[in-house]
């Protein structure tokens, strides 16, 4: 992972959790070649009864420099779906949603 390629390392993204994609507003450009284009490579999905985990790398499309490693997870915990994301480029985020038609906790802000 490369802190020189991002504007801010692990920005706080609140409830935003990306299973796929890149937070390009945080990409400063490749420290090796200066390119501003990025690709997703080495995507791996593991799914068991407890959790779905997706990992991949953000790679400079010109020189294959690894910008960041991205991790996303999804699990059902009781009556709630839980999402988490951790990535130097995309940031940290987590969210929890009720599986019921109406969330017993009330509206989420």
pTM as predicted: 0.87
Per-residue pLDDT of the chain in tens (109 residues, 90 and over written 9)? 788 999 999 999 999 999 999 999 999 999 999 999 999 999 999 988 889 999 999 999 999 999 999 999 999 988 889 999 999 999 999 998 888 777 667 666 5
Strands (E), 1-109: 38-47, 51-60, 66-77, 80-87, 91-98
* DSSP state at residue 76: E
């Amino acid at each position: 992972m490369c802190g020189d390629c991002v504007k801010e390392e692990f920005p706080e993204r609140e409830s935003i959790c990306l299973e796929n994609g890149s937070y390009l507003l945080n990409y400063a450009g490749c420290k090796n070649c200066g390119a501003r284009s990025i690709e997703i490579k080495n995507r791996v999905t593991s799914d068991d009864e407890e959790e779905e985990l997706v990992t991949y790398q953000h790679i400079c499309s010109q020189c294959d420099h690894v910008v960041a490693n991205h991790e996303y997870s999804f699990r059902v915990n009781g009556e709630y779906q839980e999402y988490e994301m951790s990535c130097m480029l995309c940031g940290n985020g987590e969210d929890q949603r009720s599986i019921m038609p109406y969330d017993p906790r009330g509206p989420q802000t």
